[in-house]
Amino acid sequence: MLRFMPVGDSMTIGSAGEHTWRHRLWEHLRDTYGGPFTFVGPRETVYDKVAEEPSSYAYAEPDFPRGHLAGWGEGWHHLAPLVADAVRATRADVLLVSLGLIDLGFYTDARQTADNVRRFVASARTANPRVHMVLLPVIHNVRARSEPAFAAEVTAFNELLAKAATDLDDPASPLLVASVPESYDIDLDTYDGTHPNASGEHKLAAAFAQAMYQAWDLGGPYTRP
């Protein structure tokens, strides 16, 4: 059984009523992987924006494994201290990580955020020295469009993320940086300039799927809408 752990912020946990990219990727792997797999993590909730707290949510497909390590408003800064325990408890094999926007927006600059990436990777490997990781760069959102200084921090962090992945890559515990599709458009693929709508969910799922297929021959090409 191959165990994937989605790790992320509000774009990963999703809110009540959303399918989430986690669900889209699960559907893709269900159709293409060809072996037993599941999604794992210490949390199973989505975020209720009305109540402003995590909540359970009934997905249309009850077989969807809800496990993840994601939280609304959380970043590398928050999850680096938690990842080792989460990997150890769930025996996760592959971490699918989408983090950084919250860090850069509220907590750390690009270099400090990259330092937390390195702490995260080291910590995850203490729990599973053979854990695989796919890292998604930070996507420029509506704030990056309106604030040049913030956009520059996002760009700088993504460059440091690529360097960290190169420095820390290990044949026993490989690191991939996924490529956000060039067609990703915050006006068309989000509902508020940051959080993905249905088309955005598919594009984020495709970014993870294509990285794993091209590097590890895992699954297949992403062909969903």
Q: What is the pLDDT of residues 27-40, one digit of tens each?
A: 999 999 999 999 99
Q: What is the pLDDT at residue 60?
A: 64
* 107 inside domain: yes
Residue 70 contacts residue 6 (beta carbons within 8 Å): yes
| pLDDT value at 95 more than 90 | yes
Q: What is the pLDDT at residue 137?
A: 98
Q: What is the CATH number of the domain that holds 184?
A: 3.40.50.1110
User: Domain count of the chain?
Assistant: 1
Assigned token pair, 160: 């440091």
pLDDT tens per residue, range 68-89: 999 999 999 999 999 999 999 9
Residue 202 contacts residue 190 (beta carbons within 8 Å): no
Task: State if pTM tops 0.75.
Answer: yes
* 132 inside domain: yes
* Domain encompassing residue 88: 2-216
* 31 inside domain: yes
* 122 inside domain: yes
pLDDT tens per residue, range 117-158: 999 999 999 999 999 999 999 999 999 999 999 999 999 999
Count Cα neighbours of 83 within 13 Å in the Cβ-side half-sphere: 32
DSSP label at 107? I
Total residues found in the chain within this entry = 225
